[in-house]
Structure 1
Amino acid sequence: MEKSSYFFTRGGGARWHYSLAKLTVWSFAFLALILIFFLRSPAPSTITSAADPSRRSLRNYNWGGSAWEKRVRASARARSSNGLTVLVTGAAGFVGTHVSSALKRRGDGALLERTGVFIVEGDINDEALLRKLFEVVPFTHVMHLAAQAGVRYAMENPGSYVHSNIAGFVNLLEVCKSVNPQPAIVWASSSSVYGLNTKVPFSEKDRTDQPASLYAATKKAGEEIAHTYNHIYGLSLTGLRFFTVYGPWGRPDMAYFFFTKDILKGKQIAIFEAANHGTVARDFTYIDDIVKGCLGALDTAEKSTGSGGKKRGPAQLRVFNLGNTSPVPVSELVSILERLLKVKAKRNIMKLPRNGDVQYTHANISYAQRELGYKPTTDLQSGLKKFVRWYLNYYSDGKKAVE
């Protein structure tokens, strides 16, 4: 789970308090797993609540018992014959929050207890918890979004990436392979797996054996692990390579987010350039477009073919790029923010550091278009306008941002 501290007032309003300094140290120290059970229900959606790993260990979270099981069953009870029962991991993170809300809006389920959905907090490495949940509810699908995100933090805390992105993923797959029926699994990979590739746009057919960061290496490992569990156990697995996702409720450690904060504070911002004044550009993808791709992957996922941990036949195995196909230089990102905020940025041009960042990303999305009906509709100008409107409104017209 991306480190985001949410809480709910009696009136149902959510306020997100974060400290960028605290984020650097604690963000992603442990993975929180918030399990959301989706069913066909028209109740309204809301942002989820997350446990703060700086205060307690999620492994010690109290779960189980007849009352707990009753609430789980009630939460996941299907109200239509064709309803999906989806286990969402990392639902309190950036992408997870928006995916969960979208599933709710279309009638697949709810997010908060007050809307009739029971929220379970835990660690994806907690095998006993996952097995118990599958005993209580026969999930048809898993949307696995829990992960240790971010390229640069891997240099400070590499172990957390292995714990979450590799060990946690394996633990989830171990549980899924042995339950009956096996669920179909959609999970978050990353555009980072393309690493040092110079051929653009990036295609799913390209080699991905030159990772530039430990984060990228763990996501590449996840893709290989997915292949193994598909081959041996018949699990249906779909990997989604996200390209620089941005938007409201995003991660504060992403450039567009802290650029906005620092521009409003009058602080200098670092803009990287490659060797020989080369352009650094990203295929920025608005969160709503990413959500459409996630739902498309869920809706087209075929059933797993295994039973009792044994493969009964070939199973679906897919990997898709989810990008915007329009790379934009980071310098242009800053220019757009300047126009929207009506504040001139204090730019500090610096060389691209050797911390895992790559110079250029560009997605070829033809495969996702054909198989998922994926078609991004939000350009960077429009997406940042929505983000800035949210940011200024959330932080009282920027007053909190500059404190």
Structure 2
Amino acid sequence: MTQFLITGAAGFIGYHLASRLLADGHGVCGVDGMTRYYDPALKQARLERLERWPSFHLIRGMVEQPGVIAGAIQRCAPDVIVHLAAQAGVRYSIDHPGTYIDSNLAGSWQVLEAARAAPPRHLLLASTSSVYGANPIAPFAESHGTDEPLSLYAATKKSMEVMAHSYAHLFSIPTTAFRFFTVYGAWGRPDMALFKFVDAILHDRPIDVYGHGRMSRDFTYVDDLVEAIVRLIPVLPTEASRVRTSAATDTLSQHAPFRTVNIAGGKPVPLIEFVRTIENCLGRRATIRMLENQPGDVPLTYADPSLLKALTQYVPATPIDVGVAVFVDWYKSWHGMSAPIYQAELQGQVIGRPQL
């Protein structure tokens, strides 16, 4: 059994990853501040499901608070650390920049310092496709430039990657930073587009579609994301794992045990097509307000997943209509609109897990 420390364990992705690892027979120590960025009842519900596992326990605290991560490591002695805790959201960063500095910079530094004192077998960090900014070259490869972020959120995530590289170099900490692309699925955050669109359509409110629907996103179903993370955990960023084929450009650093990896399927979906998929799953039409782009928005996210495939022999592939349908079922169950059908998870099963 491997012992994991997951920051942000009561969050959307942290919850799904912890559920998968627990179901696979591992131990999970979670750290979460249970902030009020969105409805804490949703976080509490995720946490209650995790706490049904004897091999899970939670340490409540903010990652940026000195001593929280170091104390968690001392208590849990993790073999692997997965740092998911962060202040998310491009638009929220415009009006609340301080929370991004605290969580994404100071919090990540606390994780790095704790890993320096007690090096794990592997440190994995969650970054974002937002670091690519308005990259004109598509699909986005990890080797593309990321020095022109368009939001503070992206800037803090890029800064986390840079800090992590320096710690990997100075203290020989095997570190992988994975870049997420528009993750969606059951138990998602209320500030995410899918949640907001479904909620508005079911309650006969108009939805705001920015960029006049011309934006495209490389949507990644959450169970696919978790599968990719699980496969990356044993792939240490060392010369032994260097990709030497022409199919992918390896980002393994020449100066540190450090690598960045895109996690996405490489199949962007136009935003208006995403809306139509939601409508089909709900069986009703949306009232759409077409609006201009908001500050920080990028027109396209489009991953090159060839490095992920070379390292793990896996690429996310759940069709958007399948993933959206699962979310709609979960949303209705969560809000009491239908009989609960999301029961398999309670026995440690992950709905929609790819058959490998």
Please report the TM-score for the alignment, with normalisation by the length of structure 2: 0.81
Residue in structure 1 matched with residue 172 of structure 2 by the alignment:
234
In the TM superposition, structure 1's runs of 4+ consecutive aligned residues that sit over 6 Å from their partners are none
For residue 224 of structure 1, what is the aligned residue in structure 2? 162
- Does the CA-based 8 Å contact 2:81-2:120 persist in structure 1? no
Pick closer, same or farther for the CA change 1:114–1:238 going to 2, 3 Å. Answer: closer
2:130 maps to which of 158, 181, 192:
192
Matched residue, 1:94: 12
| Offset, 1:247 | 0.3
Which deviates more, 129-138 or 192-201? 129-138
Distance (whole Å) between structure 2 residues aligned to residue 153 and residue 167 of structure 1: 18
Tell me the CA shift for residue 182 of structure 1. 4.0
Give distance in 1, aligned partners of 2:71 and 2:292.
50
**1:262–1:268: 8 Å Cα contact kept in structure 2?**
yes
Are 2:310 and 1:374 equivalent residues in the alignment? no
1:113 CA displacement: 6.1
Letter in 2 for 1:93: G
* Structure 1 residues 348-399: Cα deviation after superposition (integer angstroms, max 9, x where no partner): 111112x211111100000000112232120111110111111122222279
Q: Deviations over 1:47-77 (max 9, x none)?
A: xxxxxxxxxxxxxxxxxxxxxxxxxxxxxxx
- Confirm or deny that 1:346 pairs with 2:281: no
Separation in 1, partners of 2:58, 2:267: 38
- Report the Cα distance in structure 2 between the residues aligned to 1:391 and 1:138, rounded to whole angstroms: 36
Structure 2 distance, partners of 1:198, 1:131, is 41
For 1:160 and 1:183, the matched residues in 2 are separated by: 30
Q: 1:383 aligns with which of 323, 326, 335?
A: 323
Q: Does 1:359 align with 2:306?
A: no
User: What is the distance in 1 between the residues matched to 2:155 and 2:82?
Assistant: 21
Q: Deviations over 1:294-322 (max 9, x none)?
A: 1112122369xxxxxxxxx9752111001
Q: 2:5 touches 2:76 (CA, 8 Å); kept in 1? A: no
Alignment check: 8 A CA contact 1:113 1:119 kept: no
Q: Is the 8 A contact 2:237 2:259 kept in 1?
A: no
Whole-Å Cα distance in 2 between the matches of residues 300 and 92 of structure 1?
25
Same amino acid, percent of matched pairs:
38
Indicate the residue corresponding to 1:337 in structure 2: 278
8 Å contact kept, 2:22–2:55: no
Q: Any conservation in 1 of the 2:208–2:289 contact (CA below 8 Å)?
A: yes
Which structure 2 segments of 5+ residues have no match? 29-49, 239-253, 340-356
Question: Which is worse superposed, 342-351 or 143-152?
Answer: 342-351
For 2:327 and 2:8, locate their aligned partners in 1 and report how far apart those are by CA, in whole Å.
Answer: 22
Contact 2:6–2:81 at 8 Å: present in 1 too? yes
1:127-138 to 2 correspondence within 5 Å? 127-138=66-77
Superposition deviation, residue 114 in structure 1:
5.9
For each residue in 1:167-214, what CA deviation from the matched residue of structure 2 results, as whole angstroms up to 9, or x when unmatched?
1101111111122x5442001000000001111000001001110100
Q: How far apart are the structure 2 equivalents of 1:116 and 1:273?
A: 46
Residue equivalent to 1:245: 183
> Distance in 2 between the 1:131 and 1:387 partners?
36
> CA deviation digits over 1:254-305, x for unaligned, max 9?
111100010111111111226xxx82110111001100111112122369xx
Gaps of 5+ in 1: 1-82, 304-312
Q: Aligned partners of 2:93, 2:191: CA distance in 1, in Å?
A: 13
Q: Letter of the aligned partner of 2:171 in structure 1?
A: Y
Q: Distance in 1 between matches of 2:168 and 2:274?
A: 40
Match among 107, 113, 117 for residue 174 of structure 1: 113
Q: SS in structure 2 opposite 1:248?
A: coil
